[in-house]
Amino acid sequence: MNKILLMLISVSSFLFSAGEVLAKDIIVEIYKKKFIPNEVTIELGDRVIWKNIEKRQYHNVWFKSSGEDEPDYFFPDESYQRQFDKKGSFAYECGPHPKMKGKVIVVEQAY
C-alpha cells in the first residue's frame, strides 16, 4: 500500500513540475526613434528587454505615469530590462524623446 502511495505522489509531483511555465524574454527594439513593437502582451513573470539598435541616439524607458523617476539613458548596442510581476497595462515613453511611446500589457499565465 505504501509503495502505491509513494508512486502516486511521485507521478503527481512530476506532472506538476512538467506543467510549470517558464518566464520568457520579450525583445523590443529601438530604431529610428520608435519602439518596435510599441505594444507587447506578456505573461506574469516575463521580462521585457529593450535593445537600442540606433547608430548614434540614446534613449530610456520611463514608466512616467506610475510616478517613477526618469531612469538613466542607454546608448547604441546597450539595453534595458524589466521583469513584470503584476498584471495590468503599463505605459512608458522615452524621456528625451516623449513622442516615443509604448505599452506593456501583463496577463495571467496561460495553462
pLDDT at 109: 74
DSSP string, the chain: -HHHHHHHHHHHHHHHHHTPPPP-EEEEEEETTEEESSEEEEETT-EEEEEE--SS--B--B-GGGTPPPPPPB-TT-EEEEE--S-EEEEEEETTEEEEEEEEEEEPPP-
pLDDT at 20: 61
Query: What's the CATH code, domain 22-107?
Result: 2.60.40.420
Residue ranges of domains in the chain? 22-107
pLDDT average per 10 residues of sequence, the chain (111 residues): 42 43 92 98 97 97 95 98 97 97 91 56
